[in-house]
Chain A
Amino acid sequence: MRRRTLILGGAGLLAAFGFMLTLGAWQSGDLPWQEKKAASAARIRAADPSAMTWQLTSHEGEQVEPQDWLGQANLVFFGFTWCPDVCPMTLLNISDWLEELGPDADRLAGHLVTVDPERDNPEVLADYLSNFDPRITGLTGTPAEIARAAEAFGATYRRVLRQDGDYTMDHTSGVLVFRADGRLARIIDLHENPQAAVPKIRQALKQEG
């Protein structure tokens, strides 16, 4: 009983701290949200496209399944095109990595899976991605299809309402690096030095098979 009170008290303190830090309602469900994310981190580590069953639509209107990815290494990023800061930065990083890898990138594909399928239809994705390396494919689908794919990768996302009635998205921001056999090689975090990523990707490409 006493232990429970302590835990509850601790949770209250944590929630209060989180609230002070951000002054936002988005964090009010602090503890359950964190537990979900910890579970999600474990799921990301276990993600393996060769065992996945999602189906999405590319920015060129083609149906894409995880089996289409086998035999090539893959960089996967969950984001959305209404995102002003993190997503252009990450797509720019991926574009630069693909260019710097040169011929090593021949068997490597980049994918942006939108977490905002309501706005990011194939045409919108195509228009936006024309600003980045053409080897990056945009993937969208119905909200249920996106939810299924995100679940398979252990990615999370959440719609956040803005003051003016519009909305933005919170989303898993790391770039997942998969080997050609489907195994996850590593996650490149948003705040890692982007210049240090190329050797890591190269290593992942070498470790296949």
Chain B
Amino acid sequence: MIKPIIAGLGLAAVLPALALAECAEVSQGDLSVRAAWSRATIGTARPAVFYVTIQNNGSTDDRLTGIETRVAGMPMLHETVTKDGVASMPHADAIDIPAGKTVSLAPGGYHGMLMNLEAELKEGESFPVTLQFEKAGEVSIDTEVLPIRAREAACGVAP
């Protein structure tokens, strides 16, 4: 009886903290990378997902060409495409990050697919993901594992 109450209080204390959490942000060259998140997984058989926001503050276009992470044996860039009502997830060779623009890998669009997971992704944990850019080089960012029901990064996605 007491445990659920304590758990509830704990959750109540954590939720506002999550809502107000600041996005980790990493800048390199013209790019700033922030709001990296993933969803908790059940076991390791299912692929996990990777979402992030990338801002290009420079005057030259760049491209995200790949991702690497120790938590997955086969991380890839994918895009959810809906055609005639049917969703598919083709592999994306690269994602354009045009000069002066912000590009989000977000639910229903571009996303990283983390296949061959090394371990279950547990809510509250985080893991590093290295993004490979054509011009800016490699940028590593800490990725928060949010509940399966998460819709966006805990810090929200800044415009």
Contact = CB atoms under 8 A, between A and B. Distances in A.
A88 B148 contact: yes
A160 interface: yes
Contact of B85 (A82, A163, A172): A172
Nearest to B51: A85
Interface in A92-121: 92, 95
Contact of A85 (B107, B115, B148): B107
Given A81-B46, A85-B108, A170 B85 contact: no
Nearest to B46: A82
A21 to B, nearest CB: 9
The size bracket of the interface on B is 20 to 34
Nearest to A131: B148
B135 interface: no
A84 B151 contact: no
A191 B82 contact: yes
A140 to B, nearest CB: 16
A163 to B, nearest CB: 8
Given A86-B80, A191-B108, A131 B149 contact: yes
B116 interface: yes
Interface string B42-79: 10011111000000000000000000000000100010
A92 B42 CA distance: 16
Interface stretch (B5-13, B29-37, B87-95): B87-95
A22 interface: yes
Contact of B116 (A37, A160, A164, A171): A164
Interface in B83-130: 83-91, 93, 107-108, 111, 113, 115-116
A81 B48 CA distance: 11
Given A89-B107, A190-B82, A170 B87 contact: yes
Contacts of A37: 83-86
B19 interface: no
A171 B147 CA distance: 24
Given A22-B81, A37-B86, A172-B86, A86 B108 contact: yes
A22 B90 contact: yes
Given A170-B87, A172-B87, 16 more contacts: A37-B85, A41-B85, A84-B48, A86-B80, A86-B87, A131-B148, A131-B149, A160-B88, A163-B74, A168-B89, A170-B86, A170-B89, A171-B86, A174-B85, A189-B82, A190-B80
17 contacts: A26-B88, A38-B84, A81-B46, A85-B78, A85-B107, A88-B39, A88-B49, A95-B149, A131-B147, A171-B86, A172-B85, A172-B87, A173-B86, A189-B82, A190-B80, A190-B87, A191-B108
Interface of B: 39, 42, 45-49, 74, 78, 80-91, 93, 107-108, 111, 113, 115-116, 147-149, 151
Give the 5 A-B CB pairs with smallest separation, nearest first. A173-B87, A37-B84, A170-B88, A84-B49, A131-B148
